[in-house]
């Protein structure tokens, strides 16, 4: 780690550095020693104001994830067919339909489980440790303990644990591909500013930075919240609407035809008196 005296002057005034009103009360840097870090009292205040540096991910039990696959337009149609088959004691058709239902549920569960694992991996990025300056000393802390105002040391290979503003040190190369998709690392400070976003990785160089935003308030945290919001809102495209309209028309027509055949078989040919299960099965 480089000595503070050998590093360049800070680009940021103590207490400034963000236009976000919610973060206007971030503890300021010590003007005499910007790298001394927060005091115990400032840490308590910042933690009470902003909370821990973690992204909330609601836990969904796997059994609920699996049972969810049996709810929906098509699964309910298959379930109704299974009920009719077992009602008329057609065990062969019931077995085939049940197998279709289970296979469909397993495929849907597999896709949702992969998405859940991806979100878990994203949150596990916040399980590492980082060098933090507090009370004039350097500590190794779990990144979940970071609060806005903390001064952290970022070195090559470090996953940036929060939205962090460059203070002193080298011009660092940062891999921003997880957020921007750009294959070439960005330089900070530089044309993209001096705020290094959470979830990116320092490729080369080392610097001190001040934590500006943590947890769900970071860029990647906001993206996480949008993903969770999208999962609760079903967005149907125009093409999907047209397909579902055609399916509903066909299903309605088929249902009407089944009812008509059932009534003809039951009333006209006395199926309701002779053999009710066979009449239902024929329909």
> What pTM did the predictor assign?
0.58
133-184 pLDDT tens trace: 999 999 999 988 999 999 999 999 999 999 999 999 999 999 998 888 888 9
93-125 pLDDT tens trace: 888 888 988 988 898 888 888 877 776 766 665
255-282 pLDDT tens trace: 888 788 777 777 777 666 666 666 666 6
CA distance readout (Å), 240 to 68, 108, 115, 236, 245: 21, 18, 22, 6, 8
Q: In angstroms, rounded to a whole number, what is the distance separating the alpha carbons of residues 187 and 25?
A: 28
Report the C-alpha dihedral over residues 264, 270, 274, 277, rounded to 10 degrees.
20
């Amino acid at each position: 780690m480089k000595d503070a005296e050998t590093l360049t002057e800070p680009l940021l005034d103590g207490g400034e550095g963000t236009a976000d009103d919610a973060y206007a009360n971030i503890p300021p840097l010590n003007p005499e020693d910007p790298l001394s870090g927060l005091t115990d009292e400032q840490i308590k205040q910042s933690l009470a104001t902003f909370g821990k540096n973690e992204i909330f991910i609601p836990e969904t039990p796997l059994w609920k994830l699996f049972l969810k696959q049996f709810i929906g337009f098509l699964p309910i149609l298959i379930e109704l067919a299974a009920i009719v088959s077992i009602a008329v004691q057609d065990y062969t058709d019931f077995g085939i339909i049940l197998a279709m239902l289970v296979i469909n549920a397993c495929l849907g569960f597999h896709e949702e489980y992969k998405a859940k694992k991806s979100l878990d991996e994203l949150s596990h990025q916040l399980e590492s440790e980082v060098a933090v300056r507090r009370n004039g000393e350097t500590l190794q802390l779990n990144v979940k303990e970071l609060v806005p105002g903390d001064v952290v040391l970022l070195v090559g290979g470090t996953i940036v644990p929060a939205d962090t503003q460059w203070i002193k040190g080298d011009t660092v190369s940062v891999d921003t591909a997880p957020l921007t998709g750009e294959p070439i690392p960005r330089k900070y400070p530089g044309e993209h500013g001096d705020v290094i976003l959470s979830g990116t990785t320092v490729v080369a160089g080392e610097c001190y930075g001040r934590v500006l935003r943590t947890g769900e308030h970071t860029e990647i945290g906001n993206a996480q919240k949008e993903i969770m919001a999208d999962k609760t809102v079903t967005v149907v495209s125009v093409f999907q609407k047209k397909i579902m309209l055609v399916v509903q028309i066909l299903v309605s027509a088929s249902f009407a035809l089944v009812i008509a055949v059932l009534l003809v078989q039951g009333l006209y040919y006395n199926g309701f008196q002779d053999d009710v299960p066979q009449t239902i099965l024929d329909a």
